[in-house]
Amino acid sequence: MTAQVQEPEVKSGAAGAKKFPGWDSRKYNYFEPKGRKATHYEDMTVDVQPDPERYLLQDWIISFADGTPTYSKDWTKLKSSDWHKFRAPDQEWERTHYQRQSTIVGMIKNVVDNARKSGAPARFDPRWVKILQDHLGAYKHAEYGLGKATMQAQRYGYTQMINNAILTNSSYKLRFSQDLTLYLSEIGMDLPVFDATAGKTHWMEDPIWQGVREATEAVMGATDYLEQYFATNVVFEPLVAELFRSGFIMQMAAAQNDFATPAVVSAAEADYEQNLANSVELFHLLAQDPEHGEANRQVMEGWLEKHGTLCVKAANQLQPVWSQPRVKVAQFNDALAAASNRLKAICAEIGIEVPAALTATTANDTQPAAEA
């Protein structure tokens, strides 16, 4: 005799508790991943901003007074045969963004706290302190301006991937502008003479900084969001921002007894590597677009000329700063040559030409400026 044991039906809401059509459909299935499998970033990002050309059955349902819909392809001169192709190489979504930002904040806090505890600011060369006060103090406004420009730009992109990449760019720039502000304020407390307001005065009035301010304002005032993104990462960053951060602060500081400032500034260099990777990926796609590549390259080369001219002028106006430290371990010409090469390398990756006029301006202007 065999006993009949009836299994009680398990009531469970867990995966696999029952098998029925669709029980194992456990991946987002509405987009084409860039690689063989969708990354977590893609799952978090793709198609959250909808598109009437994909799934938006009823089209955008509110428009601006002139009929422009909630999102429009006309907000940039660049065109794409597939705006949805772009994926940000940094793959940021909220969790990775906070982890990275928080790590940077912690790194800066440790460096600054330890420097102050050991009395380091008081051992900075006095001339270097004045440079930090006036020039790093002025430069922080450029970072802030670019942060505002990219914050504006993240409203306009045609896909979630583009807008989120610009959004994190803005977050990085605005954090760094605050990092510099608070860093200078704090070391100022350890120094007998330090005017935390001097930086803004130099930013607004010092002829050395007027070219940078003009170039920054040109990015802020551009009405094409991809022009803003392009001008920030392809033009301004290599020609002005890296020139100053890397070519001046990072190289000069140690010789002035300053180990803290390069660590603070290094955060921006790493931020830029991410933002640059995202930008190059996007602009490369657009420059090589099978339908619009040629026209896009012309537009980008136009932006390069417009912002490049301003940025080269700005870079040259900064040249006197290299003469101010007591111990001169870096040369402006070397820094500018590195910046120029960096620009050429970036443009080569995107697939656009650096306009001849811009290259000539770089070369020609270097010498007179160096003699100024």
Partner 1 sequence: MPDGLTLNKIIAQKGISIGEAARRVADLGWTPSYVQEAMTFPTDYKISKAPKDPMKQVLRSYFPMQEEKDNRVYGALDAALRGDMFRNVEPRWVEWMKLFLAIIPFPEISAARSMAMVGRLAPGDDLRTGFTMQMVDEFRHSTIQMNLKKWYMENYIDPAGFDITEAAFGKCYATSIGRQFGEAFVTGDAITAANIYLTVVAETAFTNTLFVAMPSEAARNGDYALPTVFLSVQSDESRHIGNGHSLLMSILNNPDNHQLLERDLKYAFWQNHAIVDAAIGTIIEYGTTNRDKNKESYAELWHRWIFEDYYRTYMLPLEKYGIKIHHDDVHEAFDRIVKKNYVHKVAQFFSAGWWANFWRIEAMTERDFEWFEHKYPGWYDEFGAWWENYAKLSKPGNPPITFVDTGYVYPHRCWSNLVPCLIREDIVVDEVDGEIFTYGHEVDRWTHKVAFQGEYQGRPTPAMGRFSGHREWESMYHGWDLADAIKDMGFVRPDGKTLIAQPHLSFEEKDMWTLDHVRGYEIKSPLITLRGMTPEQRDAHIAEYKKGFKVHKI
Q: Which of residues 44-103 bind partner 1 (CB under 8 A)?
A: 44-50, 54-65, 67, 69-70, 93-95, 97-99, 101-102
Nearest distance from residue 363's CB to partner 1, in Å? 25
Per the listing, tokens 């443009």 go with: 347
Backbone angles phi, psi at 92, to 5 degrees: -80, 135
Residue nearer to partner 1 on the CB measure, 217 or 365: 217
Task: Give the SS3 label for residue 190.
Answer: coil
Tell me the β-bridge partners of 69.
Answer: 63
27: DSSP letter:
S
Q: Are 304 and 356 in contact (CB under 8 A)?
A: no
Backbone angles phi, psi at 42, to 5 degrees: -65, -45
Nearest distance from residue 110's CB to partner 1, in Å? 12
Q: Are 96 and 274 in contact (CB under 8 A)?
A: no
Nearest distance from residue 316's CB to partner 1, in Å? 17
The reply to whether 14 sits near partner 1 by the rule CB under 8 A is yes
The separation between CA 344 and the C-alpha centre of its own chain, rounded to angstroms, equals 18
Q: Are 84 and 54 in contact (CB under 8 A)?
A: yes
Cα–Cα distance, 368 to 239 (Å, whole number): 18
Which of 8, 16, 192, 290 contacts partner 1 by CB under 8 A?
16
User: Which parts of 176-205 interact with partner 1 (CB under 8 A)?
Assistant: 177-179, 181-182, 185-186, 189, 196-197, 200, 203-204
User: Which parts of 134-163 interact with partner 1 (CB under 8 A)?
Assistant: 140-141, 144, 147-148, 151-156, 160, 163
Nearest distance from residue 118's CB to partner 1, in Å? 11
* Per-position x/- string for 216-235, each x denoting binding to partner 1 as judged by CB under 8 A, each - no binding: -xx-xx-x------------
Residue nearer to partner 1 on the CB measure, 185 or 364: 185
* Per-position x/- string for 326-355, each x denoting binding to partner 1 as judged by CB under 8 A, each - no binding: ------------------------------
Which among 110-118, 233-241, 266-274, 323-331 is the span making contact with partner 1, rule CB under 8 A? 110-118
Cα–Cα distance, 89 to 96 (Å, whole number): 13
Residue nearer to partner 1 on the CB measure, 119 or 290: 119
The reply to whether 106 sits near partner 1 by the rule CB under 8 A is yes
Angle at 233 between CA 242 and CA 332, to 5 degrees: 25
Query: How many positions of this chain bind partner 1 (CB under 8 A)?
Result: 99
Q: Which two tokens stand for residue 342?
A: 């960096």
Query: In 10 A of CB 22, how many CB atoms?
Result: 7
Which among 9-17, 240-248, 261-269, 364-372 is the span making contact with partner 1, rule CB under 8 A? 9-17
Residue nearer to partner 1 on the CB measure, 204 or 348: 204
Query: In 10 A of CB 315, how many CB atoms?
Result: 28
Amino acid at 87: R
The reply to whether 117 sits near partner 1 by the rule CB under 8 A is yes
Residue nearer to partner 1 on the CB measure, 113 or 334: 113
Nearest distance from residue 70's CB to partner 1, in Å? 5
Query: What are the Cα distances from residue 276, in Å, to 174, 198, 218, 234, 248?
Result: 16, 31, 19, 7, 20
The reply to whether 23 sits near partner 1 by the rule CB under 8 A is yes
Which among 210-218, 246-254, 349-357, 359-367 is the span making contact with partner 1, rule CB under 8 A? 210-218
Q: Are 161 and 88 in contact (CB under 8 A)?
A: yes
Q: For residue 111, give the nearest of 5, 264, 249 by alpha carbon.
A: 264
Nearest distance from residue 190's CB to partner 1, in Å? 8
